[in-house]
Amino acid sequence: MKKIIVTGALGQIGSELIEKLRSEYGAENVLATDIRKPDGATSGPFELLDVTDGKQMLELAKKFGADTIMHMAALLSAKAEENPLFAWNLNMGGLMNALEVAREMDMQFFTPSSIGAFGPSTPKQNTPQDTLQRPTTMYGVNKVAGELLCDYYYHKFGIDTRGVRFPGLISYVAQPGGGTTDYAVDIYYKAIEEGKYTSFIAEGTYMDMMYMPDALQAIVDLMEADPSKLVHRNAFNVTAMSFEPSQIAASIQKCIPDFQMAYEVDPVRQAIANSWPDNIDPSAAIEEWGFKANYDLDAMTEDMLAKLKKKLKAS
C-alpha cells in the first residue's frame, strides 16, 4: 500500500482508520472521502464522494493515483432494518462500484464484513471460520453477498481482495452510528455523564467485541500480509472478547463504583443480537496472518474511561 483511498472516511471506523494510515504511510498518501464534509480541518486530502456514483469514484481514484481502496461506506445493522431498500442500494451498490474501480485499476482492496453475516442457524459457540450463514437481517444479507462478491473478484479477475468479519467495535472517538452493538459504546459516555445507563440489549446476551485500536491494527496487518499465506483471503473471523451487558457494567464499576445499570430492551435490536453468535473462532486469522488482540474487557474499560473523560471535559 502506497496511495490509499478510503470511502466512508467520516464513519465509526473510517474516522480513525484514516489517521492511523496517515501516521504510517504519510498524510499526503491517504485520500479520505465521504458523502458529507468534515466538521473541521482535516489532517490530509479529502474529497466529497457518493459511493453510489461509480464514475466519480473512478475519477477520484485515477486523479489520486491510488493503488489501494479501503471501502468502509455502509449503513449499519439497526439503520438498515429501518430502510432495507436504501441499505441494499447503498451497501451493495457502493461495494460493486468500489470493486469495479479496483478491477479497472488493478488495486489492492479491503472491505469489512461483520458477525452480522451469521444467522440464528449458525453455531453460536466458537463459531467456525467456515460455517452456515443464513442471516435474517438486510445488513447480514448485504454482508454475506459482499463476502461472496469479494471472493468472486479475486477468483474471476485476480483482484487482491481482503477483509475481516468485525465484531462490535468500541471507540471513544466516534459516536454510536446505528449498530446493534452500540450499547457497548454508549454505556461509557453515560457512565461518565450520568453515572447510569439503560441498556437496550437484554442481560445475558453475549456478543463478540473489539477495541478500535485492535481493529485498526488488524486491517493494516491483513493488508500487509503475505498473499501466498492467505487461504481464506476475505471475511476472516476476528475478535478480542465476548461479554454481555452486566459484565461491561461490572467492569465500569471497578473504575466508577456507583455506576448503575438498568434495562429497557429494544425488540428490533434484541432480535438482531439474538441471531448472532455468542463468540467466534479467530484461529484462521491467527494462523494465516498473525492476528492478535491486545485489549481485554478491563483494559479497554480503563482506557475508554480515561480517554472519554478528557474528551468530554474538552467539549
Sort 85 into a burial class: Cβ within 10 Å, 0-12 / 13-18 / 19+: exposed
Closest CA to 134 of 283, 244, 277, 269: 277
Using the Cα atoms of residue 164, residue 130, residue 159 and residue 57 in order, give the sign of their dihedral. Answer: negative
Task: Name the phi and psi angles at 202, rounded to 5.
Answer: -70, 150
For residue 118, what is its C-alpha cell?
451469521
Residue that has been written with the C-alpha cell 461491561 in this structure: 248
Q: Which grid cell is 89?
A: 442500494
CA distance 47 to 195: 40
Distances (CA, A) of 250 to 143, 183, 186: 32, 15, 15
Q: How far apart are CA 184 and CA 168, in angstroms?
A: 8
DSSP bridge pairs for 211: 170
Q: Is 188 among the residues known to form the active site?
A: no
Q: Which of 139, 153, 188, 211 is catalytic?
A: 139
Question: Residue 243 in contact with residue 206, Cβ under 8 Å?
Answer: yes
Query: Could you give the CA distance from residue 258 to residue 247 in angstroms, rounded to a whole number?
Result: 15
DSSP-derived pairing of the beta strands 207-211 and 241-243: antiparallel
**C-alpha torsion sign, points 77, 79, 83, 87:** negative
The Cα 48–Cα 35 span in angstroms is 5
Q: Give the residue numbers annotated as catalytic, written as ranges.
A: 139
